[in-house]
């Protein structure tokens, strides 16, 4: 272990910095970025490693060619990535979607830009090979891409002509272009994912389908809670099926090597609001997880962790719900076995999982 770094962002309960081992600092800084919508600075005793960047530009006038491309399009679609969240441009995205009666696909780093019940929300994409095609981009005659992280869009999404719009340009573009309100076509992906997801909701016997488990997460954590997952099986299901009603409710990293991200999120969330319901979901508890739990212990933060693994407890629905309530309330960890057969149904809908493959 190298010497301590300090991670800081906003004052944390009157303390501007927290000290953590150097190799854990990036995980906590990324958790801060995802939870707070802006980066934390990371310093070492030898000097600044990374300071928060300056605030993003808030207003960028759209080029004439972008406006003209939208005016000429009959079937435009929008693909939004995490840059929209980091640049605080969600209001601009809402304005553009309303101005043009546009459906929006979001990659998982932008999960929550629309409530899952909004007519503008089409699906969370980027997780499986056919997400973009079955999500409607293959049927579009123009794709407006904004804030996209290529790590969350590894499958080919350029299935029609593309205009790339900076997040700060979304609001101005909504003022420069619009069209009469009309019905938004729901792509096959959304309907098929909903069918598989909702079938899992009805299962009572253990081992539970993953979508019954993520539904319990939403019920227990509520509208203000946070579920964070490491990349992997559990991360896929949280990113795919956790019902979000706002930003920051479900956090899963783009980096395939970000083991420990989920617990880092719980730590950062606890530093800002100890009353906020939180849960970390992982496929295993390794060395990095144990070290993060030690950090949480030094800070006096309880960390609830559910570990998905084949030899975990095959609880039925009422037993899992009761145990989850105790876990979120008091911290600690428990293991859970889920039914792997539901993944085959998801693959039949949207192809192989491509998230975190490179």
pLDDT digits (tens, 9 = 90+) for 112-150: 999 888 999 999 999 999 999 999 999 999 999 999 999
> Predicted confidence band at 17 (pLDDT cuts at 50, 70, 90)?
low
Does residue 40 surpass a pLDDT of 70? no
Question: Mean of the pLDDT values across residues 44-50?
Answer: 50
Residues contacting 217, CB < 8 A, separation 6+: 227, 238, 242, 279, 281, 324
State both tokens at 300. Answer: 């006096």
The model carries a pTM of 0.90
pLDDT digits (tens, 9 = 90+) for 290-309: 999 999 998 899 999 999 99
Residue scoring higher pLDDT (100 or 271):
100
State both tokens at 115. Answer: 């409530």
Q: Characterize the bridge pairing of strands 226-229 and 278-282.
A: parallel
State both tokens at 146. Answer: 């904004």
Rg of the chain over Cα atoms, rounded to whole angstroms, equals: 21
Does residue 49 surpass a pLDDT of 60? no
Please report the domains of the chain, with CATH numbers, ordered by start residue: 4-50 (no CATH), 64-185 (3.40.50.1220), 192-350 (3.40.50.970)
- Spatial strand order of the sheet with 304-313 comes to 250-251, 226-229, 278-282, 304-313, 332-336
pLDDT digits (tens, 9 = 90+) for 71-81: 999 999 999 99
Rounded Cα distance between 271 and 153, Å, is 32
Does residue 61 surpass a pLDDT of 60? yes
pLDDT at position 53 is 59
Rounded Cα distance between 226 and 248, Å, is 7
Average pLDDT, the chain: 90
pLDDT at position 25 is 84
Question: Mean of the pLDDT values across residues 49-63?
Answer: 70
pLDDT digits (tens, 9 = 90+) for 314-357: 999 999 999 999 999 999 999 999 999 999 999 999 999 999 98
Residues contacting 344, CB < 8 A, separation 6+: none
């Amino acid at each position: 272990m190298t010497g301590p770094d300090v991670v800081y962002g906003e004052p944390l309960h009157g303390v501007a910095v927290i000290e953590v081992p150097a190799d854990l600092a990036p995980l906590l800084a990324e958790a801060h970025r995802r939870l707070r919508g802006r980066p934390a600075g990371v310093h070492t005793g030898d000097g600044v490693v990374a300071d928060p960047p300056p605030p993003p530009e808030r207003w960028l006038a759209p080029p004439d060619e972008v406006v003209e491309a939208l005016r000429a399009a009959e079937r435009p679609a929008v693909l939004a990535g995490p840059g929209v969240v980091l640049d605080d441009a969600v209001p601009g995205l809402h304005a553009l979607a309303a101005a043009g009666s546009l459906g929006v696909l979001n990659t998982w780093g932008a999960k929550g830009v629309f409530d899952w019940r909004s007519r503008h929300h089409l699906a969370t994409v980027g997780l499986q090979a056919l997400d973009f095609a079955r999500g409607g981009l293959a049927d579009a005659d123009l794709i407006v891409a904004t804030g996209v992280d290529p790590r969350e869009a590894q499958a080919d999404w350029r299935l029609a002509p593309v205009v790339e719009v900076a997040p700060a340009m979304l609001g101005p573009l909504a003022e420069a272009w619009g069209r009469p309100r009309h019905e938004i076509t729901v792509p096959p992906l959304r309907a098929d994912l909903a069918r598989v997801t909702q079938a899992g909701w009805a299962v009572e016997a253990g081992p539970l389908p993953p979508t019954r488990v993520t539904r319990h997460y939403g019920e227990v954590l509520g509208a203000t809670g946070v579920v964070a997952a490491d990349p992997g099986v559990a991360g896929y299901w949280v990113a795919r099926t956790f019902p979000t009603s706002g930003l920051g409710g479900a956090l899963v990293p783009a980096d395939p090597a970000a083991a420990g991200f989920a617990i880092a999120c719980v730590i950062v969330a606890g530093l800002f609001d100890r009353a906020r319901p939180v849960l970390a979901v992982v496929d295993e508890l390794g060395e990095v997880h144990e070290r993060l739990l030690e950090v949480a212990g030094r800070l006096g933060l309880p960390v609830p962790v559910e570990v998905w693994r084949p030899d975990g407890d095959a609880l039925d629905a009422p037993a899992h719900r009761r145990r989850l309530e105790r876990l979120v309330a008091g911290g600690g960890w428990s293991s859970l076995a889920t039914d792997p057969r539901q993944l085959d149904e998801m693959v039949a809908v949207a192809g192989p999982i491509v998230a975190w493959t490179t």
